[in-house]
Structure 1
């Protein structure tokens, strides 16, 4: 390969990415400059301004771009962020919402339509709890990272100037929220907003038992012109993320590394349900099933057409990846 290719990447600071952030793991043939930032500014900087050679991206925004035929960013099947989402459906204490089915016909706040957490939750609520997208008054906090065409009958209003959807939910102007993070009033236990799923962990575990899906939130995308010049980068970067995750799992086996009294019990509980590698990369059968469900939800929500496939999301050399021990 000759001299190393210089490139920049921005990713989240997680245990499974930290070996890349601190330089313990480096992709072969690459002189990598690693930056980190929270999700919203990271996604915005990459999607709007292409500030980096590669970045961890919202799966919702990425598939929306692919659905529009934009191919200047190409993902590898690395999924550094997943999250079950039943615990991120909220209701105003002033509302009559007591169960997920009560959200139909209500006014609900969201971060934006294409936020990945929202895509998953609208899909899950529709498929399993009877939520009809066109029977809700949607109010978004933020503008969309990528322009999109909403399904017939679905309308999304922007929050009024100077207001937030959290404030509107507290005051009862919005009956509920579907949000990717925990709102401040919940964190502060103010009693003004409550969760719709009363036992979200139990609901999420039952969802996994039923579907086998651990929702994927983010992927990693690389600038297409860099891949055109150096196609081997895709596989080498994939391998680096694999190795970083392996080291994180290895570190987690030592109970001294995390200040939780029952860490081992939590690990064993999770493995009993999710297996030894819940954050698996590559296009395994489980990951394909998860991504196909997400694309189905994204299609129902006006974000992609039928011509977008799981294989079409990722760089060809990373579609088939050898198994790795974890």
Structure 2
């Protein structure tokens, strides 16, 4: 019997991945060695700088930047995390009203300039609200996952020991982009009625705001194409086991190249518009001859 291909894997716990992570979806030809990482985003530097994983969940903005800098990774057409980002930029109502049009000349905190949620929100602010994002001061706490990227002049690093939400509550920044929508009643969405705004954005762009997809090393796809196909099958079976999307619901975890093409076009445009990649990739460039045919 042929020994299963061992695949060092970084993958978070999401509804669409739980069956796979729990071993309820299995393979006789591939053995996924899951890294003991509770929050995958904390290991994204290891994915793109050290090429530590054969298969990894990866922020789509990080993947595009890694692609621009020649990192040997290819995309699988599998979304494991996506959401509409509109409610994730907030302000402190105790310091008075604030709207997107007020942001120029103000300070907005975010973990890193290149965080995918922050990138989407800058695009929303620029394209839907007319904000000149280069006239906003972006206060960050970390460098980009991709070592070659240099933050633009509009970015400054927060003082050592500071924390994002605490800075917002103290008035040291005017708004903040947070990974989770806060429950603190003092913190309200900067974008009025974010659910309605998200629906309008979706109608306009006919796209999903992707956060994380799955990538594999080019070398794995070249040397073990059947293993890569099997990884995709496992992911698809895990999604199926989650019974997602539910009847009548919008699919926030699309699988397959054509199901993701439009959303990838929009994120490529957004990242390029902000100067984070030097050119607009064609969607097919993100895949290789193996992964392009999946789904």
The TM-score normalised by the length of structure 1 is: 0.82
TM-fit CA distance, 1:115? 0.7
Structure 1 unpaired stretches of 5+ = 254-266
Specify the alignment match of 1:187 in structure 2: 183
**What is the rounded CA distance, in whole Å, between the counterparts of 2:82 and 2:98 in structure 1?**
27
Q: Is the partner of 1:79 in helix, strand or coil?
A: strand
Specify the alignment match of 1:229 in structure 2: 223
Q: How many pairs align? A: 293
Counterparts in 2 of 1:20-31, with a 5 A limit?
20-27=20-27, 29-31=29-31
TM-fit CA distance, 1:217? 0.4
**What is the rounded CA distance, in whole Å, between the counterparts of 1:188 and 1:128 in structure 2?**
27
Summarize the Cα distance change of 1:312–1:86 in structure 2 as closer, same or farther, 3 Å threshold.
Answer: same
Summarize the Cα distance change of 1:118–1:8 in structure 2 as closer, same or farther, 3 Å threshold.
Answer: same
Q: Is the Cα contact below 8 Å between 1:282 and 1:318 reproduced in 2?
A: no
Q: Is the Cα contact below 8 Å between 1:26 and 1:32 reproduced in 2?
A: no
The TM-score normalised by the length of structure 2 is: 0.90
Specify the alignment match of 2:122 in structure 1: 122
Summarize the Cα distance change of 1:316–1:104 in structure 2 as closer, same or farther, 3 Å threshold.
Answer: farther
TM-fit CA distance, 1:219? 1.2
TM-fit CA distance, 1:97? 4.5
Summarize the Cα distance change of 1:101–1:60 in structure 2 as closer, same or farther, 3 Å threshold.
Answer: same
1:88 aligns with 2:88: yes
Structure 2 unpaired stretches of 5+ = none
TM-fit CA distance, 1:94? 4.8
Q: Is the Cα contact below 8 Å between 1:76 and 1:238 reproduced in 2?
A: yes
Specify the alignment match of 2:208 in structure 1: 214
Aligned partner (choices 229, 242, 245) of residue 248 of structure 1: 242
TM-fit CA distance, 1:51? 3.1
1:64 aligns with 2:65: yes
Counterparts in 2 of 1:101-120, with a 5 A limit?
101-120=101-120
1:163 aligns with 2:138: no
TM-fit CA distance, 1:220? 1.0
